[in-house]
Amino acid sequence: MSKYKVERILNIPVDVMTMEDVKQDLVSNEAVGDKLTLTSVNPQIVLMAEENDTVKTFIENSTHRIADGIGLVKVSGWTKGDIKERVTGFDLMQEVLSYADEHHKNVFLYGSKPEVVAQAAKNIETDYPELNLVGWIDGYTKLSDKEIVQRMNEKEADIVFVALGSPRQEEWLSRNMDQLTATIFQTIGGCLDVLSGATKRAPDIFIKLNLEWLYRSVSNPKRLYRIFQLPVFVAKSLSWHRKNGKH
């Protein structure tokens, strides 16, 4: 469970933390060896967790429930909460990769299309030459969960990035994390698409204005629905807060 102050947004826990907090926890956990779950929470995942008990339970049990969405920051502010900083899943993954590079950790990638994860693996090896990228499996594999877990353990993975999209990535980790010997897990959604070059990240102006979600939604017709989910999320979150009167 998280050691940080927790706010509940639509009854989903989100931790009050910064990127610096996570970086320090990665280092301090080195001697302890606890399992750390770095879980991005955004408006879409909050709405999904309303309907999916596995996703909600996974978030509840994660050590780091990270506000990856300006919508969460805004709702926290409007309800006099303490979440001030949005930590994107992509930026967090880069920090974890930097940590792995500095400490020569074994990294395993699971998810995305075969050509995407293969190219992402090559780029990671180029950009972070001191980490050990010990394996990758695409999200379309016919391997069973047991076989995937066995391969990760045989490769002695320290860090596992799961890029299956929600809810698949949360459901997969819920089923299998206890059988894995790795100690750091991150749900990364579409990060491998960006790392591989298959998808371009939003221009800096969109990132600075916290509108990266809008750029990605407009750029990809399959994500347009997210634009309409945001007002639903805000309305439901504020209504829940008024009824419960607490975070």
pTM of the model: 0.88
Decide if 97 contacts 27 (C-beta within 8 A). no
* pLDDT given for residue 243 in this prediction: 87
Decide if 193 contacts 49 (C-beta within 8 A). no
Decide if 122 contacts 149 (C-beta within 8 A). no
Give the Cβ contact number of residue 200 at 10 Å: 11
* pLDDT given for residue 197 in this prediction: 86
pLDDT in tens, 183-194: 999 999 999 999
Strand order across the beta sheet in which 64-67 lies: 64-67, 36-41, 184-187, 159-163, 106-111, 132-137
pLDDT in tens, 211-233: 555 545 555 555 545 666 788 89
Residue 35: HSE in the Cβ half-sphere, 13 Å Cα cutoff? 18
pLDDT in tens, 132-184: 999 999 999 999 999 999 999 999 999 999 999 999 999 999 999 999 999 99
* pLDDT given for residue 225 in this prediction: 53
Which of 222, 242, 233 minimizes the C-alpha distance to 14? 233
Q: Is the model's pLDDT at 116 over the cut of 90?
A: yes
pLDDT in tens, 14-70: 999 999 999 999 999 988 889 999 999 999 999 999 999 999 999 999 999 999 988
* pLDDT given for residue 3 in this prediction: 81
Angle at 18 between CA 16 and CA 19, to 5 degrees: 145
Distance between CA atoms of residues 174 and 52, nearest Å: 12
First to last CA, the chain: 17
* pLDDT given for residue 85 in this prediction: 87
* pLDDT given for residue 21 in this prediction: 95
Within 100-203, strands assigned E span 106-111, 132-137, 159-163, 184-187
More confident residue, 91 or 220: 91
Sequence-ordered alpha helix ranges (H) in 79-167:
89-103, 114-127, 145-154
Interval 69-93 mean pLDDT: 91
Distance between CA atoms of residues 182 and 34, nearest Å: 9
Distance between CA atoms of residues 41 and 75, nearest Å: 13
* pLDDT given for residue 223 in this prediction: 55
pLDDT tier for residue 234 given thresholds of 50, 70 and 90: confident
